[in-house]
A and B are shown apart, each in its own frame.
Chain A
Amino acid sequence: MKMKKTCAAAASALVMAGMLAGCVSKDNGPGTAAPEAALKDGKYDPVLTITTAKQQDENAGKYINGESLNDNVMTRWGVDHLGIKIETTLLGGDAANYNTKLRLALTGSEKLPDIIPVYDTSLENDLIQSGQVKEITGDIQKYMPDRLKEIYKQYPTTFNPVIQDGKVYGMAISPNLTEGEVMLVRQDWLDKLNLEVPTTIDEFEKVIAAFTNDDPDGNGKKDTYGFDFSGKDSYNTGWVSDPVMIFSTYTGKHLPGQWYNDNGKLTYGSVADGNKEALAKLRDWYSKGYLNKELATQGAWDALADFTEGKAGIIIGRPWLYGSVKDVEKNIKGAKISAHPTIKGVKEDKTYQSGQLNDGVFMFNKNFTNMEAFFLYYDKLYDAAFGTGDFKYGYAQGYDYDVVNGEVVFDSAKFNKPLDAIQAPGKMTFTKNTPSVDGPGKSYYDLANGAKPDNGILMRAAAPVDQTAKDGFVISYENRDVLLPSAFNGAPTKTMQSSWEQLTTMEKETFTKIIYSKEPLEAYDEFVKQWHEKGGTQITEEVNDWYKKTNEVDVMSAMGLK
């Protein structure tokens, strides 16, 4: 008798747990299912809910005032001003598990969000194949505001990954070239050794040799070296600790790990002429101790530590990299960093770098019927970039700017309520980065050339931040023609799916072993041969087929972007 009671108790406990679970769970269903909301005077009534997915880096700023992803100054602004409520229903931490969650959502066990930002070309392709995403050619033509059309017109290649059979299934997230890379040099070392900033490969070699052998820090020990970079992930990081300049010196526009459109034919940079000479240089330098000893094991971010510690003399990266390594000026007395353009190539032209046009694409649930609302909201987000409307100075007073004594302030420490860091709207809206029309540092360039800071963007650029970083932005804008986006941005081709991994591993190993002198320089020729034999030739053909196909139908006209 007693045993039965116990069983019953246990069973009821389990049932209770199940019920509780049911009670607490949120219902993702309604909201979007009611398309009754109508646009009146630029505002939806009743409030329209748009669900979205988000990949969010916890490092990117924090919420203040107890706000959260679905309840913050930007979501409230959307409801108050546009009658649009943005609700995140799918959230992933880093890129890998965001993609995992999206794939799981595709299994159909739950509703896909209305707006789906996707950052992976093969996932973009899968989404199109699944038939769950919307074809938006007509929507773009009909609803995209003119000022955005002007922007998207400039970057037709950003549509390539989302075109299938002449139909467009998505659009780039704020297309815009990233800022380029600059060379950061220990100016105090140059001064001490009476050296000039290097502009050619020979001068570069002379400088890093002196940085290694002539004791630039004056401590009597041979504990410094010239050039600090990372070769762990690739020899073209396009970001920070990048060695791609050395390759480009000899290969020009053929960058390792990237596809280049050579008069209508796409070719792969790692097997182009000139790589061998670049590797020979790096091999020579490595054996002489001019380079980061652990370059093959340190990631892009780890490699910075040597520079910040005061062991390395030259590092390359985006202009803001200065902010991440400037601690060397604090750690070492007299240390001074200066920013310069990358060196010239052997053919007397510039050295090139990879540039990024957009960070992923927006795709839309096929049942999403409010494209007009999306474009309304998206266009408003651009207000900050254009310096118009509600976001003339920034997105929210007290978050990313403040007005103190009648003056607009962008330094978070000087706000009425000082903050540790500005509150980037990237954590609050559906774009990861703030939309920009500014290009690779144009505002800094304009200011340096005497423009008056009379709109939000210029005022922000004029805010007193590190001068060296500003110099870097100006340099990167002056040299914006060296930025090369990869010519291939489609989903992995058939042969790529089976052998690309193997090919890139072979490439990385060969390059590293040659630099480390573990294999003769001739190993490069063998690599090129192997690369072509083990699928490279096939892949090149497929990539070119893809290129032809995406340019077959004039989708730009269909979208009204011509």
Chain B
Amino acid sequence: MYHKSKGYKLFSIFNHILLILVALTCLLPLLHLFAQSFSSKAAVNGNLVSFWPVEFTADAYEKTFKNSNFTGSMLISIVRTVLGTLIGMFVITTAGYALSKDFRGRNALMWIFVFTMLFSGGLIPSYILVTSLGMKDTIWALVLPGAFGAYNLILIMNFFKTIPKALEEAAFIDGASFFGIFVKIFLPLSLPGLATVGLFIMVGHWNSWFDGILYMSNTTNYPLASFLQTVVVQSSAQSMALSQSEAAALSEQSIKAAQIFISTLPIILVYPFLQRYFVKGIVLGAVKE
């Protein structure tokens, strides 16, 4: 038996070690951050913290949650993610459903969508478009421009295509409408695909920071990722005109650690619930016909 052969065992051991190493490279930075967030400021500045808190204190968390900018940004991020995922899923699934059928002009439409995957208008045209539509300083500037993603569309569309046509025809005979079939048959049958795409969109919204900085003219409107971007990016020597108080604030590494840690939590919590669909979703969606 080949899986009992020496070579296979060796490979298996090697494989395990490799995967453990890969897992550690993902886990250790987070652990380090966690330890920093619970350590005293002096210990963190002196580089004394590795993977276990030194001089344990929850001070950084207290300060973080007292900071109304942080909590406000968190709220905006949550609203944005929920709204963005709902709108995104609605657009993608309806479009995917329609495009999984054969109709005239379908290929031309697909071609247009795929075109957007290869070429984008670029920063300036997108900015002019969003501001001219009056979306600047509103949540819509964060939600609408990214609502339609061609890559996700293709995943979902191919997923829908794997659903037997006979099922649909049977439903038609029973008197169901297109919309009824979509809601009652296609959506429930493609949960893995929906979960996968949903996670993609969700993580995308949660992590996206540039649009927040670009389209918001007040920090109180920043989503969490944009807020963190402005806090964590350290001033380099190039922007050297820092005053004393600014410089002191810059060194509060433990607070930054707490903020980053809190901001990663929601996604870490959502992930296990969607993970079981994940592999299936990607594989099925990727297979054509």
Question: Which residues on A are within 8 Å of B, measured CB to CB?
Answer: 2-3, 6, 10, 17-18, 20-22, 24-26, 56-63, 66, 68-70, 88-95, 97, 100-101, 104, 107, 109-110, 119, 178, 230, 233-234, 237-240, 299-301, 304-306, 308-310, 318, 320-321, 323-325, 327-328, 330-331, 356, 359, 420-422, 424, 426, 432-434
CB pair B247 A320 closer than 8 Å:
yes
Give the distance to chain B from A246, nearest Cβ to Cβ, in Å.
16
Complex contact A238–B214 (CB within 8 A) = no
The number of chain B residues touching the other chain, given as a range, is: 35 or more
A301–B214 CB distance below 8 A: no
Which of A59, A92, A325, A424 contacts B231 (CB under 8 A)? A59
**Cβ of B231: which chain A residues have Cβ within 8 Å of it?**
58-59
The answer to whether B128 touches A17, judged by C-beta atoms less than 8 angstroms apart, is no
A-B contact pairs, 7 of them (CB 8 A): A62-B69, A109-B132, A110-B131, A233-B236, A233-B238, A331-B42, A433-B243
Contact A309 B144, beta carbon cutoff 8 Å: no
Asked whether, in the complex, the Cβ of B246 is within 8 Å of the Cβ of A60, the reply is yes
Q: Across the interface, which residues of A come within 8 angstroms of B43, CB to CB?
A: 331
Shortest CB-to-CB span from B192 to chain A, Å, is 25
Q: Let me know if A95 and B238 touch, CB within 8 A.
A: yes
Task: Say yes or no: B42 contacts A69, CB within 8 Å.
Answer: no
Q: Is the CB of B247 within 8 A of A324?
A: yes
A304: contacting residue among B45, B48, B141, B216, CB under 8 A: B45
Is B230 in contact with chain A by the CB < 8 A criterion? yes
**Contact between A89 and B217 (Cβ–Cβ < 8 Å)?**
yes
CA separation between A376 and B242, bound complex, in Å?
26
Q: How far is the CB of B123 from chain A (nearest CB, A)?
A: 7
What residues on B are CB-neighbors of A239 within 8 Å? 237, 240, 242
Task: Give the interface centre of A17, A88, A90 by most chain B CB atoms within 10 Å.
Answer: A17
Give chain B nearest CB distance to A503 CB in angstroms: 17
B124 interfacial contact with A, CB 8 Å:
yes
**B137 is an interface residue with CB less than 8 A from chain A:** yes
Chain B residue numbers with a CB within 8 Å of A94 are 229-230, 233, 235, 239
Q: Report chain A residues within 8 Å CB of B210.
A: 97
CA separation between A101 and B133, bound complex, in Å?
Answer: 17
Given A18-B133, A25-B135, A323-B244, A305 contacting B238 (CB threshold 8 A): no
**Binary contact readout B99-127 vs A (1 if CB under 8 angstroms, 0 otherwise):** 00000000000000000000000011001
User: Across the interface, which residues of A come within 8 angstroms of B139, CB to CB?
Assistant: 24
> What are the interface flags for B165-182 relative to A under an 8 Å C-beta threshold, 1 for contact and 0 otherwise?
000000000000111100
**Chain A residue with the shortest CB-CB distance to B134:** A25
Partner of B140, one of A20, A62, A359: A20
Q: Is the CB of A310 within 8 A of B46?
A: yes
- With A60-B249, A69-B219, A308-B47 known as contacts, the answer to whether A356 contacts B241 (CB < 8 A) is yes
Which residue of chain A lies nearest to B139 when distances are taken between CB atoms in the complex? A24
CB < 8 Å: which of A2, A90, A234, A320 contacts B179? Answer: A2
Residues of B contacting A101 in the complex (Cβ-Cβ under 8 angstroms): 213-214
Are B243 and A434 closer than 8 Å at their CB atoms? yes
Q: Which residues of A contact B144 (CB under 8 A)?
A: 17, 21
**Whole-angstrom distance between the Cβ of B179 and the nearest chain A Cβ:** 5
Given the known A-B contacts A69-B220, A104-B127, A323-B247, are A301 and B234 also in contact in the complex, defined by CB atoms under 8 Å?
yes
Cα-based distance from A59 to B68 in the complex (angstroms): 14
List the A side residues contacting B243 at CB < 8 Å. Answer: 60, 424, 426, 433-434
* Given A93-B233, A239-B240, A240-B237, 8 new contacts (CB under 8 A): A21-B133, A57-B230, A61-B246, A90-B217, A91-B216, A101-B214, A299-B234, A301-B235
